[in-house]
Amino acid sequence: MPPQMYQFFNPLRFIPEIIYTLIIFIICFLIYFKTKEAYNLTKHKGIGYFRDAFLLFGLAYVMRFIFEMINFSTKLFHIFLPRYFLFPLSLLILSYLSTMGILYLVFSSVWKNIKRKNFVLYGHLTAMAISIAIFITRSHQTLILLQIALLIFAIVLNFIKTKKTKKVSQAIILHLLIFIFWILNLWMISPRCFLPRESMILIQTISLIVFGVIYFKVLKWLK
């Protein structure tokens, strides 16, 4: 960034982003550890995949936090770091972790119906292939479409299972909430040069409320 542009940098603008990221990944790890006892008692694979999904979401937010801090530091201390290097690298890591997290949500619903023993490995290979494609194309829009498709797939699978039991399951409610939450987040991390700061704060607030509801739904589900 040219030196003359630093005069327009306001460090306070990064504080809400950092706080938001910290709260989200703390809640992700709380969900992961809260479900530990239920998994240890039952060894239920669906619970195992569900908690691993939140572990991956938490790691994605850890990486997002690290990249936000790097971005913050480079601007605060006038360190030049080319955006064409930082953004693709962050997109590569975040797309892999978040895609794998969504796939684990799918696995938590369909693991009984999958015959292949190595389906988790295939999931990792799929997430890696998607991440590499996103890294090469630098297409954030492609990542959004692919992850929306995966989330819709998870919801449809849960809806089919719910239709058989003729009652709304906690799983489909959680998947719908995660879908809303993740769409909001994909919108926030997309190129947003023309998105007003007030709109960003509003989206973050709604996103935190939705994620808070997810957390309490999980706690209720564990009782």
Does residue 16 sit within a domain?
yes
Dihedral, 34, 177, 196, 22 alpha carbons, nearest 10:
10
Strand (E) or helix (H) holding 45: helix 45-76
Does residue 2 sit within a domain?
no
Does residue 3 sit within a domain?
no
Does residue 119 sit within a domain?
yes
- Residue 190: DSSP 8-state: S
Domain count, the chain: 1
Average pLDDT over residues 75-102: 77
pLDDT at 182 (0 to 100): 76
Mean pLDDT of the chain: 77
Does residue 65 sit within a domain?
yes
Q: Are 61 and 25 in contact (CB under 8 A)?
A: yes
Does residue 93 sit within a domain?
yes
pLDDT at 165 (0 to 100): 54
pLDDT at 55 (0 to 100): 92
Is pLDDT above 90 for 96?
yes
Q: What is the pLDDT of residues 13-34, one digit of tens each?
A: 677 777 888 888 888 899 998 8
Q: Are 70 and 86 in contact (CB under 8 A)?
A: yes
Is pLDDT above 50 for 85?
yes
The residue with tokens 């997002």 is: 64
Q: What is the pLDDT of residues 42-64, one digit of tens each?
A: 888 888 998 999 999 889 888 87
The residue with tokens 């988790």 is: 120
Is pLDDT above 90 for 124?
yes
Q: What is the pLDDT of residues 191-217, one digit of tens each?
A: 554 556 677 778 788 888 888 888 888
pTM value surpassing 0.85: no
Supply the range of the domain harboring residue 145.
Answer: 8-221
Q: Which residue has the higher pLDDT, 160 or 102?
A: 102
Nearest to 60 by CA among 88, 105, 100: 100
The residue with tokens 């936000």 is: 68
